[in-house]
Structure 1
Amino acid sequence: MVSCCICSKSFKIECVDVSNTQARKIHKKTGLSWTCKCCSQVGNDINELKEVIVALQNEIKLLKSAISTTSQSPTNSLLDTEKIIQEISEREKRKCNIIIYGNNEENKTSKNEQLAVDTVFVKDVLSSLSVTDNDNIKPIRLGKFDATKTDRRRPIKITLPSENSILSVLRMSKELKKSTRFNNISITRDRTPMQLELYRNTKIELNQRIANGESNLRIRYDRGIPVIISSKLPVSPTVN
């Protein structure tokens, strides 16, 4: 038998793939330990939660630094604290959303017809990115519908089951450029107005640095924050 070092439950070694030699060392507490599958999963969940907490702490520091450069009255300080809380809450709401750009709207007479067409399109895009968990996808067109336009490309927002699904889609989205059908389609996270403003400012800085003679620069997200980094290959001033 071998005992889990966390929950202390005992298991038969042939059931958990532990050798007799290993079991004896674990029993004698020689420094070798073993963790059952259940406790290992709990440990993995804890590590994921720690990463989320660290990311939120970084976001809080960034938001606080944006408002700490000027002296403020107690009232203003409370208002800024409330803005920080609202921003974090808004980011949490959007964390499983993505925005799909570039798909032209069909000339449909009803919202239900357009919804059906958009649903098929979104599922086809996700399938091309090897995302199979898309049964409950509900696409939402963003912005006001303008019937006078013949070329309507309002972005489509969708919600995926988990943040891992979002990361998978974003990593694979570059493959769309190689597709004949979806080469004009791009995908991004659903970002808050503050996040979009931060990206725009970073993009302006990037363009200025390139105009001043710097090369091999691009924008990369580091823990959710856009930063300018050096790249081995030259890039154009316009960065998606």
Structure 2
Amino acid sequence: MTCVICKKKVSRSADCVTCDLCRGAVHTECADLSRAEIECIRSKSRKIHFYCANCDIVATINNLKEELAGVKSELNELKNSQGKVIHQDSVKKLSDDDILMEIEDRNHRAANLVLFNLPESSEMNSSERKNDDMFRCRKIVIPENKNNVVNSQNCIRLGKFDNDKVRPVKIIFENPHQAIDALRTYKRSDNLYLNRDLTPRQQNYNFVIRTEFKNRLEKGEDNIFLKYVNGIPKIVPKKNLKNMQIPNSQ
């Protein structure tokens, strides 16, 4: 067995990791991974993939195709929606560049979460307010008993300060996996809501679907529910109730 990168012999399985695409062996030194990343990749319950340098571009293209199909599917649902509140920006024909920009924006936001209704800090100094927000966000979002390290790098209040409003807080994690893990383990409390950092198009999509759902309920349809997948709502028949997820978003 030889390393697909350096082409040298791999003497022991403990000295390599396996590419998830070509199934080739890669020396741990050639993989350019940290010890923690190597342990995670070797874990039976891992939720991430490893691609060697040769396959990385192939995997990127495949992922891009999947994301492209997902965006187009959402747009088609919007066009076929029965609601009467669809924004023109949602249904106009998008160019390939528009769709690629949307995908890039989603990837840029993938390591972020947004916490709603966290009271504004009473600290006077802006730096102290930010530190206070960070402390409270970590206490709310990251469970104290987690074995693996989930570290929020930063938090930002969204929008201008207003005495009559509470601004959402964007929480920025080290990587998308930590954001997903934090969202999955978050236990909703009081009036706080945690959701993914959605793009404007995703926010508009959510608004349209929730409004359509409300309108259909008001018209007497009582056999439908909202099912949330990764923070995105979808109207489903009542028979799928057992698969319904309780949303973290408002």
Same fold (TM over 0.5): yes
* 1:145 equivalenced with 2:167 (yes/no): no
Q: 2:18 aligns with which of 35, 39, 42?
A: 39
Residues 228, 125 of structure 1: CA spacing in aligned structure 2 closer, same or farther, 3 A cutoff? same
Q: 2:102 aligns with which of 84, 87, 94?
A: 87
Computed over aligned residues only, the root mean square deviation of the Cα atoms, in angstroms, reads 3.8
Shift of 1:103: 0.9
Does the 8 Å CA contact 2:18/2:50 hold for their aligned counterparts? no
Separation in 1 of the partners of 2:167 and 2:126? Answer: 14
Residues 6, 233 of structure 1: CA spacing in aligned structure 2 closer, same or farther, 3 A cutoff? closer
* 1:157 partner letter: K
Does the 8 Å CA contact 1:6/1:39 hold for their aligned counterparts? no
Residues 67, 119 of structure 1: CA spacing in aligned structure 2 closer, same or farther, 3 A cutoff? closer
Q: Which sections of structure 2, spanning at least 5 residues, go unmatched? A: 24-48, 52-57, 81-91
Q: 1:231 aligns with which of 224, 227, 241?
A: 241
Q: How does 1:1-240 map to 2 (within 5 A)?
A: 3=1, 16=13, 37-40=16-19, 43=23, 44-46=49-51, 49=60, 52-62=63-73, 65=76, 80-128=95-143, 130=146, 132-134=149-151, 137-146=153-162, 148-149=163-164, 152-173=165-186, 175-177=187-189, 183-211=190-218, 212-215=220-223, 217-221=225-229, 226-229=233-236, 230-232=240-242, 240=250
- In the superposition, the TM-score normalised over structure 1's length comes to 0.65
Q: Larger % of helix: which?
A: 1
Deviations 1:175-197 (A, max 9, x none): 233xxxxx332110111111111
Shift of 1:215: 2.9
Q: Which sections of structure 1, spanning at least 5 residues, go unmatched? A: 18-35, 70-75, 178-182
Please give the secondary structure, in 1, of the residue aligned with 2:188.
Answer: helix
Please give the secondary structure, in 2, of the residue aligned with 1:128.
Answer: coil
Deviations 1:145-200 (A, max 9, x none): 02x43xx4211002111111121112112x233xxxxx332110111111111111
Separation in 2 of the partners of 1:235 and 1:16? Answer: 40
Does the 8 Å CA contact 1:137/1:159 hold for their aligned counterparts? yes
Shift of 1:111: 0.7
Shift of 1:121: 0.7
Separation in 1 of the partners of 2:74 and 2:234? Answer: 16
Aligned length: 198
- In the superposition, the TM-score normalised over structure 2's length comes to 0.62
Identity of aligned residues (%): 20
